[in-house]
Chain A
Amino acid sequence: MIPFTIRFEPRERLSRWINIWVPVAAIVLALVIAGAVLAVSGHNPFTTYQQIIQAAFTQPGAFTQTLVSTTPLLFTGLAAAVAFRMRIWNIGAEGQLYLGSIAAAGVGLYLQSLPAPIVVLAMMVSGAIAGSLWAAIPGTLRAYFNTNEILTSLFLNYVADYLMYYLIFDSTSFWRDLTSPAARVFPQGKTLAASGNWPALTIFTIAVPLGLIVAVGVSGLLWGMIRGTRYGFEMRVMGDAPRAASHAGMNIRRKIISIMFVSGAVAGLGGASQVGDFRHVLDPRGLEQAQFGYTGIVVAALARYNPISAILAALGIGVLTNAGLALQGPNFPIGLTGTMEGILLFCVLGSEIFARYHVRVHRTRKPLAAHRAGQVRPAAPAAAPVEMALTGGGEQAS
């Protein structure tokens, strides 16, 4: 028999301090466990970690590359966070991002002769609108027919995926390049003109994509909205107690749809940024493999649905993604980088339980203490704390 039992008791208040040291301890623990895995598989953990730091930060161009990985994750992370905060489980950021890409690529190609600022702006707006309309489908179904938005938004991801493939691979659509020699060999999208390439802000040697600046701006806007506006107040009430919200006269249906609009618009912006900042073409395979929408859910969870924390969380996952790509090679299988990422996420997300609960370890005692087992101490004076431990015993009950 196990000689002790472990109990979880809810903490009465979450202190700020615990919110900092628990994640930090979790990261340290993850590094230790991942180090053991690395050592067992024949890699020196210290050189591997050094390589990660180089690949993510210190090599020339490494941090720029990290920001490239971070940008879409911040968009999808925010999209998930804002919906999850209201307990609307929008799993469809993936598809909403695809739709944003389709719209932005289409608008960028169509308006390519116009001045660059207009084209860039039009791409952002169209991407956001396409994403929000796509998200409004599961939103409306949830609001009026109480369908499960987890399923409907998830399945719409597949629809969006096939739509993207159809436009490039299975049709002669406006998006598809039908002229260049390369495209005759393998189907691909038309490349945007220079007017549709979003500028990057260069600080020292680091190129900050315009999309990232927009995404950080959106983080701030969402944070301010949740804290300081009527809309955000309704969001907080509905996220905390939906029945209190309807009791207070809030229109829950309208709110569900509008929050899906906002969430989808943010994800759609992410899709526009993929086309404008990085790919300059509608790239179904690349987007599908990247799985930004699903990784965004992890970002949102790490950030505890807080839009400002999402910046840090997206950066953290961006570092991992980028380092993982850099480490991969004949001696370093992709599965190992995935394992390391998994260990880290498991530790950080799992550590939440330590932030929320006290963990108490008790010695297991014999079943039913006192009056049956019989070993009982006489009544003690009341002033001092009295330990009435009853670890079984031989005396007979009187």
Chain B
Amino acid sequence: MTDTAPAAASPALAARSVTKRFRGVVANDRVDFEVAAGEVHALLGENGAGKTTLCNVLTGLYRPEEGYVEIGGKAVRMHSPHDAHEAGIFMVHQQFRLVQSLSVAENVVLGWTRHGGTWFAPRRVEPEVAALAEQYGMDVAPQAKIWQLSVGEQQRVEILKALYRGARILIMDEPTSVLTPQEVDQLVATLRAMARSGSAVVFISHKLPEVLAVSDRITVLRSGRTVGTVDTAATSAEALAHMMVGRDVVFGDHAAAHHAGGEVVLKLEGLCAENDMGTPALVDVGLDVHAGEILGIAGVAGNGQRELAEVIAGERPRTGGSVTIAGKSQQGRPWEAIDTGLGYVPEDRMGVGVAPGLSITDNLRLKNYRRGGTILRNKKATEEAEELIRRFDIVARGPRTLARELSGGNLQKLIVARELSSGAKVLVVSSPTRGLDVGATESVRTLLADSARRGVAVVLISEDLDEIFELADRIAVLYRGRVTGVLNRGEADVDRIGLMMAGEVAA
């Protein structure tokens, strides 16, 4: 369609010196950002660097206190996301906004009044949706119901929704965190096709290799300010990391020092369980985890990882098999697992890992309050909380701060602090660094590696293969609830694991 070169005149979408404060904290401090038609522009930054705030300003959810947004070179004042949509700006959020029981085509037209009128005729748009999917190389059937689709396919539906509604500027928030390596390749192809056809794509990510692979230009945010914009061709991972954190980051290899081969402290035999819908989610899972090792569990989201973690923690009933922690056979109750020495960092932080309406102190004692008497010792708990806040570098106003006021990274540090300070023998962690910035990711990974070094058996469930390769001594792959293979790290490579994750080969 149009020329692929970024328009020389005015950018498709720009933030000019945007400032936005919350509760006196400056989330965006005179941020400048622009994305041109025909380019994929990555937005990079640590958690709390202000990426989400900036995107919410760009999509009309927040109004900037100072500065303004420009669309096609014209300053605008948007009052709601609706205004942004009319200007062709769409965002694909990490949590999809799809109706599970409706079809792809129905979701695409849902709430969109282009066809006008009261009558809702998704059948009529099916060919149109199919053509759009075809044009951008997306493999998805318009008649399929959302619940039948994989996470990657659901993401394509979100993109289709935006395209169908006339998106000229698409903002993708952390789009790759739920995808297999193969799905990531497809996504990249789609985004490139969009750029070729003259759209502007904003790609938010923490993962440097991905950003380098997909983008034309990169803007880095740090502490609410723009650090700079660079051409992707002229930069490197090290340079970007330096821009993000303001210091040099050493990309560690944490695995080397573990002393694998300790005694078995977590033993799973013939484990079976069902998911929330009552269909089998785990089938005959058997694993031994030794003291001092990190066992990585790889797999695409929804292949039994959540159920595996919950069954070990006693939070989900098993339909067969046995769990043995530190030599003690488990009946399957959460308090029993905690008392036997299981630490568990759940996938969902808010609402499961922590109670959002309670203070940091209360959340830190969530698993050891039982050790005291009937009367709580509030003062002692507060002192212990202060100590943990210091030791684990949790950024908060104080121990009375409510958990819901913490950022994602600090929330995760709180949970990890609680689980590690209780003296666990086995630690099950689910997606421990999802959504965390480079700095917090490094410190969480260091904590995990250190605890393995001190003799804790760590089960690392993660969809991030880089993380598993960085930390794990052994890698087990889950596919449709079965362990399709366990590889030593030395004999594993990304392609092979990726194929196993897709169910193509067994070990």
The verdict on A255 contacting chain B, using a C-beta distance below 8 Å, is no
- B366 with A384: CB separation less than 8 A: no
| A248 and B86 contact, Cβ closer than 8 Å, known pairs A382-B66, A386-B68, A388-B77 | no
The verdict on B315 contacting chain A, using a C-beta distance below 8 Å, is yes
How big is the A interface, by class? 35 or more
- Per-residue interface assignment for chain A, residues 352 to 380, with 1 indicating a CB less than 8 Å from any chain B CB and 0 otherwise: 00000000001001011111100011111
| A228 and B375 contact, Cβ closer than 8 Å, known pairs A236-B362, A378-B75, A385-B65 | yes
Contacts of B74 in A (CB 8 A): 370-371, 376, 397
A10 to chain B, nearest CB (A): 11
| A241 and B352 contact, Cβ closer than 8 Å, known pairs A230-B374, A388-B68 | yes
- A241 with B370: CB separation less than 8 A: no
Please report the C-alpha to C-alpha distance between residue A365 and residue B78 in the assembled complex, in whole angstroms. Answer: 10
- A369 with B78: CB separation less than 8 A: yes
Please report the C-alpha to C-alpha distance between residue A246 and residue B317 in the assembled complex, in whole angstroms. Answer: 13
From B102-110, B159-167, B353-361, give the one contacting chain A: B353-361
- A372 with B374: CB separation less than 8 A: no
- A228 with B376: CB separation less than 8 A: yes
Contact of B346 among A229, A231, A247, A372 (CB under 8 A): A247
| A388 and B362 contact, Cβ closer than 8 Å, known pairs A228-B378, A248-B367 | no
Contacts of A228 in B (CB 8 A): 375-376, 378
Number of interchain pairs (Cβ within 8 Å): 134
- A380 with B83: CB separation less than 8 A: no
From B16-24, B133-141, B249-257, B466-474, give the one contacting chain A: B16-24
The verdict on A216 contacting chain B, using a C-beta distance below 8 Å, is no
- A370 with B369: CB separation less than 8 A: no
CB nearest to A12 among chain B residues: B23
- B369 with A230: CB separation less than 8 A: yes
| A244 and B352 contact, Cβ closer than 8 Å, known pairs A228-B376, A371-B87, A376-B76 | yes
- B16 with A379: CB separation less than 8 A: yes
CB nearest to B334 among chain A residues: A249
B35 to chain A, nearest CB (A): 16
- B366 with A237: CB separation less than 8 A: yes
- A371 with B23: CB separation less than 8 A: no
The verdict on B454 contacting chain A, using a C-beta distance below 8 Å, is no
- A389 with B77: CB separation less than 8 A: yes
- B77 with A249: CB separation less than 8 A: no
- B76 with A247: CB separation less than 8 A: no
CB nearest to B314 among chain A residues: A249
A374 to chain B, nearest CB (A): 8
Please report the C-alpha to C-alpha distance between residue A373 and residue B30 in the assembled complex, in whole angstroms. Answer: 27
The verdict on B132 contacting chain A, using a C-beta distance below 8 Å, is no
- A362 with B79: CB separation less than 8 A: yes
How big is the B interface, by class? 35 or more
- A371 with B334: CB separation less than 8 A: no
CB nearest to A228 among chain B residues: B376
Contact of A368 among B65, B86, B362, B366 (CB under 8 A): B86
Within A247-289, which residues are at the interface with B (CB < 8 Å)? 247-251
The verdict on B70 contacting chain A, using a C-beta distance below 8 Å, is yes
Contacts of A397 in B (CB 8 A): 74
- Per-residue interface assignment for chain B, residues 46 to 86, with 1 indicating a CB less than 8 Å from any chain A CB and 0 otherwise: 00000000000000000001111011101111110001001
Please report the C-alpha to C-alpha distance between residue A233 and residue B68 in the assembled complex, in whole angstroms. Answer: 47
B353 to chain A, nearest CB (A): 7
Contacts of A369 in B (CB 8 A): 76-79, 83
- A230 with B376: CB separation less than 8 A: yes
The verdict on B351 contacting chain A, using a C-beta distance below 8 Å, is yes
Please report the C-alpha to C-alpha distance between residue A236 and residue B365 in the assembled complex, in whole angstroms. Answer: 13
Contacts of A389 in B (CB 8 A): 77
Within B338-388, which residues are at the interface with A (CB < 8 Å)? 338-339, 344, 346, 348, 351-358, 362, 365-367, 369-370, 372-376, 378
- A240 with B358: CB separation less than 8 A: yes
B358 to chain A, nearest CB (A): 6
Please report the C-alpha to C-alpha distance between residue A141 and residue B374 in the assembled complex, in whole angstroms. Answer: 27
Please report the C-alpha to C-alpha distance between residue A237 and residue B65 in the assembled complex, in whole angstroms. Answer: 37
- A371 with B71: CB separation less than 8 A: yes
Within B271-309, which residues are at the interface with A (CB < 8 Å)? none
- B67 with A247: CB separation less than 8 A: no
Within B391-410, which residues are at the interface with A (CB < 8 Å)? none
The verdict on B112 contacting chain A, using a C-beta distance below 8 Å, is no
- A246 with B77: CB separation less than 8 A: no
Please report the C-alpha to C-alpha distance between residue A244 and residue B373 in the assembled complex, in whole angstroms. Answer: 21
CB nearest to A243 among chain B residues: B352
Contacts of A13 in B (CB 8 A): 23
Please report the C-alpha to C-alpha distance between residue A323 and residue B76 in the assembled complex, in whole angstroms. Answer: 58
Contact of A386 among B67, B87, B337 (CB under 8 A): B67
- B87 with A370: CB separation less than 8 A: yes
B462 to chain A, nearest CB (A): 19
Please report the C-alpha to C-alpha distance between residue A382 and residue B17 in the assembled complex, in whole angstroms. Answer: 6
- A388 with B75: CB separation less than 8 A: yes
The verdict on B120 contacting chain A, using a C-beta distance below 8 Å, is no
Please report the C-alpha to C-alpha distance between residue A237 and residue B72 in the assembled complex, in whole angstroms. Answer: 50
The verdict on A336 contacting chain B, using a C-beta distance below 8 Å, is no
Please report the C-alpha to C-alpha distance between residue A378 and residue B361 in the assembled complex, in whole angstroms. Answer: 51
The verdict on B335 contacting chain A, using a C-beta distance below 8 Å, is yes
The verdict on A326 contacting chain B, using a C-beta distance below 8 Å, is no
- A370 with B77: CB separation less than 8 A: yes
B162 to chain A, nearest CB (A): 17
- Per-residue interface assignment for chain A, residues 214 to 251, with 1 indicating a CB less than 8 Å from any chain B CB and 0 otherwise: 00000000000001111111001100110111111111
Contacts A249-B334, A368-B83 known; 16 new A-B pairs at CB < 8 A: A227-B378, A228-B375, A233-B362, A241-B351, A243-B351, A249-B339, A250-B335, A369-B76, A370-B87, A371-B76, A376-B74, A382-B17, A382-B66, A385-B66, A388-B75, A388-B77
* 17 CB-based A-B contacts, threshold 8 Å: A12-B22, A230-B373, A230-B375, A237-B362, A241-B351, A244-B351, A244-B366, A248-B367, A249-B335, A251-B335, A367-B86, A372-B87, A379-B75, A382-B16, A382-B30, A384-B66, A386-B68
- Which 4 A/B pairs are nearest by Cβ-Cβ distance? A382-B17, A249-B335, A370-B76, A388-B77
